[in-house]
Structure 1
Amino acid sequence: MQKVWSISGRSIAVSALALALTACQSMRGPEPVAQANLPTSYLSNASGTSIAEQGYKDFFADQRLLQVIDLALTNNRDLRTATLNIQRAQQQYQIAENNQLPTIGASGGILRQDTLSTNKPITSYNVGLGVTAYELDFWGRVKSLKDNALDSYLATASARDATQISLIGQVAQAWLNYSFATAQLKLADQTLKAQLDSYNLNKKRFDVGIDSEVPVRQAQVSVETARNDVANYKTQIAQAQNLLNLLVGQQVPDNLLPKQRVTRISNSSAFASGLPSDLLNNRPDVKAAEYKLSAAGANIGAAKARLFPTISLTGSAGYASTDLSDLFKSGAFVWSLGPSLDIPLWDWGTRKANVKISETDQQIALSDYEKSIQSAFREVNDALATRQNIGDRLAAQKRLVDATNTTYKLSNARFRAGIDSFLSVLDAQRSSYAAEQGLLLLEQANLNNQVEVYKTLGGGIKANSSDQIVQPPSSSELKYHANDQK
């Protein structure tokens, strides 16, 4: 009879262990459905394959800029930190995955004790292997924690991709800022030279008594204004270079800086936006928010599992003896196996409160996910709205430049002929200078907008267009596919 009970108890223990290892359940519950009110199309009529499918080495036209971008991807500290965060999250996931397996450790010891029943102290020796508090994951708590760690790791990887996209866009725009600050300085130098000529002419006319001192002082005002602009643009050039050095993470070589106005930034002439649904896959910040939503769902499963009893196993096997020379002899082998049970009886509602907290966290993550989608569409539509009208603005500004330059030439000729006063020349000169400045600003805005369209659509993850980017499924997606296969 004793033998029958021994066999039955052993069978129950083996069955319980098998059930724990192979049949644990997740208690995370159904996944929430995002309601982001996605539009069926963008505001503009841009169509075709999204420009984000191009690698940045195919999108950008200037080889100097591409070299600067590569330097930034290697040395930028924000990107380096994002990459280190991925490594940290990867190790955390490894720890969570390891928690599903027993931890086996070696132990050994010497115990010397004295008791009332003996005349002298007794020394005992032991050595063996043991499993300490291995949780039988009946309710899927450990698995849910592993799923949370996986989603957190994937979210961190997507955040790194978002950092790369942002960095490439910032580098390109800072590089353009340097270029156009240089162009504005050149324009200010030319204007200063012309205004110095006007000042010298008016001073000569004043010295010989042809005109009063008023035109001289008016010309002097224009000269000093131009000098101020020259100093201002020199400051902008230095600041643009400082920003570029910060983004790149080192001093940008002088041969990679644009010394002339950049007229072309991209190899593309058409900036197609693709389908609105493409944005969910192309924008890593949206994907990161999706992973965080999935991680919040896994936390619910872990919190719910804490409402149920926890069973842990502790076991050991080895040798023990009171004589060191007999430690590994036959008969010294000992083993032990014992479960421990943690049954929640009354904790004043703490565990239920943790479930409510995890459910609230999921709703917060859902709201953040929906907002990330809405923000992404707003950024794309803003960039496309600028793209839609920038051509008309440039054409109008060029006509304005032609008109003001012609007016300045005519006014200067009439002044030299003694028909008009210098005030008309001064006014025409200021209008022409302002129009030239405005044209440079619009040309810069046009190139910056091309970068912005590419960035907001999610371009910049791939180096080459032929590269394939695969987004790993979240734990909620894996759960959904697993349920479909059942």
Structure 2
Amino acid sequence: MKRAAPLLLIASLAGTLGACSLQPKYVRPLPAVPAGWRIADPALLASETDLASLSYRAIFREPRLQALIGRSLDHSQNLKAALANVTAARALYRVQRAALLPAINGSAAASVSESGNGNAGVNGGATSGGQRENYSVNLGASAFELDLFGRLRSLSDAQLNAYLATEQAARATRLTLAADIADAYFTLAADRSLLAIAKQTAASAQRSVALTSARLKGGIAPRTDLRQAETIEATARSDVANLTTIVEQDRNALELLIGGPVTDADLPGAIESVDDQVGPVPVGISSSILLRRPDVVEAEYQLRAANARIGAARAAFFPRISLTSVGGLASSALSGLFTGGAFAYNAGASASVPIFAGGANSGNLAAARAQAEAATATYQRAIQLAFRDVSDALARRATIADQIAAQTALEAAARDTAFLTGERYRGGVASFLESLDAQRALYASERSLINARLLRASNMVALYRALGGDDFSGARPASQP
């Protein structure tokens, strides 16, 4: 036991002397944003309570959309890359943390040497020949740095926060993926609705062309009426061709996001069947909710890492003490290697003191402080951008219901006008130009209503994204690491 005392002493010093730290105490900056949002509708300011984490299943209630998002979380290549970055960051943290502990190495050696008989010695005498054997087994720690001023601890904290920031980046990837799939799903639904309207308009225009052609042959209608009817038909057929391409491109985009093929059964039929399948999100909330957005949390972890690196840069001005200890067994005979008399040990310490480094340590400290200032600005900027995203989404939500109501009324009026004008034209009361204008107005109002429905669905996706969405992997960092 006495022979092991130096090794135990080294381990004890390593555990007790590494408590000092020159790392500044971390204080989260106050968000440079107002405490609440300006919302056009005063009724939406009824409550100012924090919002719990949102689940995409609670917001996007359409079963097919939920299934597609769930598949993407397992197969998305972007997400796989983000998770691989998390694994790499975790491994680097483990590497940095290992510097806080002594590295114990073991070694074993054996050598055999033989000299001949009758060789001349230094003074002209003869040396005795023979075979010599040496065996040794050693265990020890080499150049283990005592973290007296917290340099290694600060570097470990910096790597830990870099790893946690990478985790939040992966969480942001999941959030973005879910929101992008919802946007692509609703866009596909809207384009399918537009395609259906274009086909209906083309079919109606074909009937108008046939009717006008018959009236022209009967001498009732001029040739200009036929040409105008053909113009409507050609426009609608062009829209059908274009929208057919767009729908296929929407499907390709959705498959890319999901990371695999989708079937027709996975796709929405029309925007009218899915835009009301988006759950409501409470909007009377405090802006402190933004502190759990993954990009904001990532920026805060980066700020913590920069703060820790200041401590490491400060510690570079102070001495570094390293310990070396080797203990083992040595014998000239293998049979006697593990006897009590074969044990030997050696322990030592060395210290290095920075005297002149050409300003390198001062430069490193200034750089660390500047990086912390930049990280603080990045953190505040992330909160401000998040605040603007939510404000924009809320501003749109406050008026979207009125917009849809107005577009619905406009579409109904245009439809009735087109019907009445068509009847008047067939009865010879109205001109074909009036009927043509009414058809154009109906086509435009139908497209506008579909776009308004898409806008309502996309607004909910934007609000889901802006508020932070799903809490996929952990919450915001605590006040202490």
Which residue among 280, 286, 292 is the counterpart of 2:291? Answer: 280
Is residue 69 of structure 1 aligned with residue 65 of structure 2?
no
> AA paired with 1:59?
I
Q: Which digits, 9 at most, give the CA deviation of each residue in 1:207-263, with x for residues without a partner?
A: 233333222111111111101111111112111111111111111233221123334
Which runs of structure 2 are paired with 1:16-55 in the superposition (5 Å)? 18-23=12-17, 24-31=19-26, 34=29, 36-44=31-39, 45=42, 46-47=44-45, 48=47, 49=49, 53-55=53-55
Q: What is the alpha-carbon root mean square deviation over aligned residues?
A: 2.6
Which runs of structure 2 are paired with 1:364-383 in the superposition (5 Å)? 364-383=374-393
- Structure 1 residues 138 and 269: alpha-carbon distance in aligned structure 2, compared to 1, 3 A threshold: closer
Is residue 399 of structure 1 aligned with residue 409 of structure 2?
yes
SS in 2 for 1:29: coil
User: 1:271–1:453: 8 Å Cα contact kept in structure 2?
Assistant: no
> AA paired with 1:271?
P
Structure 1 Cα separation of the partners of residues 278 and 455 of structure 2:
17
SS in 1 for 2:329: strand
Following superposition, the deviation at residue 418 of structure 1 comes to: 2.3
Structure 1 Cα separation of the partners of residues 342 and 225 of structure 2:
114
User: 1:50–1:457: 8 Å Cα contact kept in structure 2?
Assistant: no
Which runs of structure 2 are paired with 1:67-466 in the superposition (5 Å)? 67-111=67-111, 123-261=133-271, 262-266=273-277, 268-269=279-280, 271-281=282-292, 283-461=293-471
> AA paired with 2:451?
L
Structure 1 Cα separation of the partners of residues 22 and 455 of structure 2:
52
Following superposition, the deviation at residue 452 of structure 1 comes to: 1.5
User: What is the aligned-residue identity percentage?
Assistant: 35
User: 2:53–2:471: 8 Å Cα contact kept in structure 1?
Assistant: no
Number of equivalent positions: 462
Following superposition, the deviation at residue 472 of structure 1 comes to: 4.6
SS in 1 for 2:470: coil
- Structure 1 residues 33 and 472: alpha-carbon distance in aligned structure 2, compared to 1, 3 A threshold: closer
Structure 2 Cα separation of the partners of residues 328 and 269 of structure 1:
77
> AA paired with 2:78?
D
User: 1:60–1:267: 8 Å Cα contact kept in structure 2?
Assistant: yes
- Structure 1 residues 478 and 461: alpha-carbon distance in aligned structure 2, compared to 1, 3 A threshold: closer
Q: Which digits, 9 at most, give the CA deviation of each residue in 1:138-180, with x for residues without a partner?
A: 0101111111121112111111111111111111111111111
User: 1:273–1:457: 8 Å Cα contact kept in structure 2?
Assistant: no
Structure 2 Cα separation of the partners of residues 269 and 338 of structure 1:
69
Q: Which digits, 9 at most, give the CA deviation of each residue in 1:7-61, with x for residues without a partner?
A: xxx99x9878645422431112244653542212111153545565342222322
Structure 2 Cα separation of the partners of residues 323 and 370 of structure 1:
71
SS in 2 for 1:53: coil
User: 1:36–1:371: 8 Å Cα contact kept in structure 2?
Assistant: no
Normalised to the residue count of structure 2, the TM-score between the two structures is: 0.89
SS in 2 for 1:461: coil
User: 1:52–1:455: 8 Å Cα contact kept in structure 2?
Assistant: no
Residue ranges of structure 1 left out of the alignment (5+ in a row): 1-9, 463-467, 480-486
SS in 2 for 1:245: helix
Following superposition, the deviation at residue 96 of structure 1 comes to: 2.1
- Structure 1 residues 265 and 400: alpha-carbon distance in aligned structure 2, compared to 1, 3 A threshold: closer
Structure 2 Cα separation of the partners of residues 430 and 267 of structure 1:
32
